[in-house]
Amino acid sequence: MSTLAQTQPGVRKTLWRPSNALVTFIVFMLPAFVLFTTFVMLPMIDAAHFSLYKWSGYGAPTDFVGTQNFERLASNRIFLHSLGNSLKIIAASMFIQLPLALGLALLIYEKRWSNTVFRLVFFLPYILAEVASGLIWSFIFDGDYGLAAEIARWLNIENFYILANRQWAFTAILVVIVWKYFGFHMMIYIAGLQSIPKDQIEAITIDGAGPLQVIRYVKLPMLKPAIIMSVFFSVIGALQIFDIIIPLTNGGPSNSTHTIVSFLYTFGLQRMNIGFGSAVGIVLFVCCATFAFTYRATFQREKGAAR
């Protein structure tokens, strides 16, 4: 029958063609899956394996110690302080950085040339590399030659070394972090505000609502998706802060300004204690993954309840 079909005129031979879904998967999903597996999943599996060994990074790991690296972390005073510093960064982001970004976005979101200038000025710190930002602010805080030294001379007071003071060094780091990243969140809010239909604002204004009522009943509810995304980026970014810490204080004075990542770098990589550093990396991964999945599940649940 198949031979007859091939020989009869007008009968076409049916060729197999991949479906659109399969083509989409091959073109888009497969490369992304390969990259994610190669650069994320495999390193994490290796880190989980290395965390069970006392290993310097040379040769194959052979000194199996089980969960001792994690037990050392749980009782390590510097690590616990570093974890607390990361939580302080999250708090500063939530209660200082994001409200500041939202307030400025409400002031300059309208499309005017003057607002464009302000947006550029406020967004410039985010464009700067983290290391460059740290070096700039380390000069500003320098008690001998920087801006802090000049202010001390103007006020005729003794030079104050902010980054060498255990009580003030981390506060200075928080100032730099807020300055560096608030422009990024401001632009997220500006994009959300510019997408709000003007008809809704005009309607509530005609009904007699003032500027604060417009913000409360129209702009903030419409900004909820942007705020949710901004909070997510802020928390994940705060847990991964590293590049600003190193040029500013390098974790000092007396290891008082370490975050989780700078602690990993100093006590894991620099000291060639790869097994211990891998344990820190696993803890960081668990913190980020737990927050990400919990955050996503929470707002998906709220979205489903709203429907």
Q: Which of 71-75, 117-121, 201-205, 268-272 has the lowest mean pLDDT?
A: 201-205
Class assignment of domain 77-306? mainly alpha
Domain boundaries, the chain: 77-306
Mean pLDDT to the nearest integer, 192-209: 88
Mean pLDDT to the nearest integer, 29-34: 83
Structure confidence at residue 60 as a pLDDT band (50, 70, 90): confident
DSSP the chain: -HHHHHHSTTPPPP-----HHHHHIIIIIHHHHHHHIIIIIHHHHHHHHHTTB---SSS----B-TTHHHHHHHT-HHHHHHHHHHHHHHHHIIIIIHHHHHHHHHHH-S--HHHHHHHHHHHHHHHS-HHHHHHHHHHHT-TTTSHHHHHHHHTT-----GGG-TTTHHHHHHHHHHHHHHHHHHHHHHHHHHTS-HHHHHHHHHTT--HHHHIIIIIHHHTHHHHHHHHHHHHHHHHT--TTHHHHTTT-STT-S--HHHHHIIIIIITT-HHHHHHHHHHHHHHHHHHHHHHHHHHHHHHHHH-
